[in-house]
Amino acid sequence: MKFSVPREDLLKLLHAVVGVVERRSTMPILGNVLLKVAGGKLSVTATDLEVELVAGTPVEVEAPGETTVPGRKLHDICRLLPEGTVVNAALDGNRMVIKGGRGRYTLATLSATDFPTVDEMATQQTLRIPQKALHELLNRTQFSMAQQDVRYYLNGLLLETGTDGLQGLRGVATDGHRLALSEISLGEPGAAQRVIVPRKGILELSRSLGQEGDALMMIGTSHLRVELDGLRMTSTLIDGQFPDYGRVIPLDPPNTVVADREEFHHALQRAAVLANDKLRGVRLELGENNAVIYANNPEQEEAVETVEVEYGGDALEIGFNVNYLLDALAHIDGENVQIGLRDGDSSCLITAQDNSTTQYVVMPMRL
């Protein structure tokens, strides 16, 4: 195995996959990346057994072959080499010799035959999605995924196609205290399918998506695969039953608040400075065309912010985790935000005033 490649091309490949390289693992080979050289192309594969990333680029091949080398060490070497350097790599027994500029680096290898790779998956349907639209869908929902929840099915994001007349792709995430839902239209209904993609797969996919071109998404029974230009990501799926999220979305809440999104967002940010560090609670008092935000902490400090809003319902008082409100407002497009409320003990529904394809549900908290 022997090849030459510009430092920038190799660094791009390694940067695309190194995120899933295990730093500490009971399986040493998971700290390595698989290098395959054949047919004038180099492919680099990394996996943590949950997510697999494969990136490729043309190279000058003197001898084909495959091996595995420490992923983060190879990435750091390439990152620190001078720009414009040509990297020459050759396999010498159980060592990989890397030459770049005036430097020479020898890395230990492990057998490529021991590297775990994803078997060919049984694809049930394939969707072609603009990368920008898919990135926006993930960005609007992924922050509501749970982290290390014992309800393992919440530690990921539900992707749904072809249900209840959906002509596109829907993403839903919840941690049990809030819920985020967003849809993108693809113009035609797909096959009815619901899969839960684990948190790490969603984060790596979101990081890899660009603004141009399409993503080819293949949904199988146990894996999800997304192919981009020069990159392929495969993630296992979470085997579990996602909650019936439709039951927690408030239907036609009788009280509606319409506010300038940016003004309301800034007022909450200022009030949050004096909110309790642990509870992060703020209290909203709604009156006619007026919303007052209260926050306080154990040091007897208090913040009071008044925001002009459109509201004609009865006086209402309700508490929320301010971080949940800020996250929702930060990911809503549009000048005005609409908040639907039933009473002081029920969840609220947050949407853009003129667009309900993205919805956020936040549970109240007692203060």
Whether 240 and 304 share a structural domain: no
Q: Does pLDDT of 190 surpass 80?
A: no
- The answer to whether residue 277 is domain-embedded is yes
Whether 270 and 329 share a structural domain: yes
Examine the fold and report which residue of 114, 133, 154 is the final residue of a domain before the chain moves on: 114
Nearest to 264 by CA among 366, 367, 186, 336: 336
Say which range, 184-188, 275-279, 317-321, has the weakest mean pLDDT: 184-188
Whether 298 and 190 share a structural domain: no
Q: What is the pLDDT of residue 146?
A: 96
Whether 160 and 213 share a structural domain: yes
Helices (H) and strands (E) in the chain, counts: 6, 25
HEC-encoded secondary structure of 53-91: EEEEEECEEEECEEEEEEHHHHHHHHHHCCCCCEEEEEE
Sequence-ordered alpha helix ranges (H) in 110-164? 131-141
pLDDT one-digit tens code per residue, 249-281: 999 999 999 999 999 999 999 999 999 999 999
Q: Does pLDDT of 305 surpass 90?
A: yes
Q: Please, is 144 exposed, middle or buried when counting C-beta atoms within 10 Å of its C-beta (0-12, 13-18, 19+)?
A: buried
User: Percentage of the chain with pLDDT > 90?
Assistant: 89
Sequence-ordered alpha helix ranges (H) in the chain? 7-17, 71-80, 131-141, 199-208, 261-272, 322-330
The whole-model pTM stands at 0.92
Q: How far is CA 82 from CA 8, 103, 345, 358, in A?
A: 10, 11, 60, 45
| Spatial distance between the Cα atoms of 280 and 248, rounded to a whole number of angstroms | 23
Buried b vs exposed e over 103-134: b needs ≥16 C-beta within 10 Å?
eebebebbebeebeebeebeeeeebebbbbbb
Q: Please, is 171 exposed, middle or buried when counting C-beta atoms within 10 Å of its C-beta (0-12, 13-18, 19+)?
A: buried
CATH code of residue 76: 3.10.150.10
The boundaries of the domain holding residue 209 are: 123-247
Whether 138 and 235 share a structural domain: yes
Whether 325 and 346 share a structural domain: yes
Whether 12 and 89 share a structural domain: yes
Whether 67 and 12 share a structural domain: yes
Torsion sign over Cα 220, 226, 231, 237: negative
- The answer to whether residue 186 is domain-embedded is yes
Question: For strand 281-287 and strand 316-321, is the pairing parallel, antiparallel, or unpaired?
Answer: antiparallel
What's the token pair of residue 47?
Answer: 């996996």
Average predicted confidence (pLDDT) for the chain: 94
CA 332 to chain CA mean position, Å: 16
Query: What SS3 class is residue 328?
Result: helix
- The answer to whether residue 10 is domain-embedded is yes
Band (pLDDT 50/70/90 cuts) for residue 187 is: confident
Whether 287 and 222 share a structural domain: no
Examine the fold and report which residue of 114, 139, 170 is the final residue of a domain before the chain moves on: 114
| Spatial distance between the Cα atoms of 329 and 346, rounded to a whole number of angstroms | 19
Q: What is the pLDDT of residue 254?
A: 94
- The answer to whether residue 147 is domain-embedded is yes
Q: Does pLDDT of 288 surpass 80?
A: yes
**What is the pLDDT averaged over residues 123-130?**
93
| Spatial distance between the Cα atoms of 346 and 164, rounded to a whole number of angstroms | 26
- The answer to whether residue 190 is domain-embedded is yes
Torsion sign over Cα 330, 178, 215, 237: positive
Whether 144 and 243 share a structural domain: yes
Whether 157 and 107 share a structural domain: no
- The answer to whether residue 309 is domain-embedded is yes
- The answer to whether residue 367 is domain-embedded is no
DSSP letter assigned to residue 279? T
pLDDT one-digit tens code per residue, 96-121: 999 998 999 999 999 999 999 887 78
| Spatial distance between the Cα atoms of 136 and 141, rounded to a whole number of angstroms | 9
Whether 236 and 294 share a structural domain: no
Q: What is the pLDDT of residue 172?
A: 98
Q: Does pLDDT of 130 surpass 90?
A: yes
Examine the fold and report which residue of 64, 86, 114 is the final residue of a domain before the chain moves on: 114
Q: What is the pLDDT of residue 60?
A: 95
Domain count along the chain? 3
- The answer to whether residue 77 is domain-embedded is yes
Residue appearing with tokens 């200022």: 270
| Spatial distance between the Cα atoms of 66 and 248, rounded to a whole number of angstroms | 51
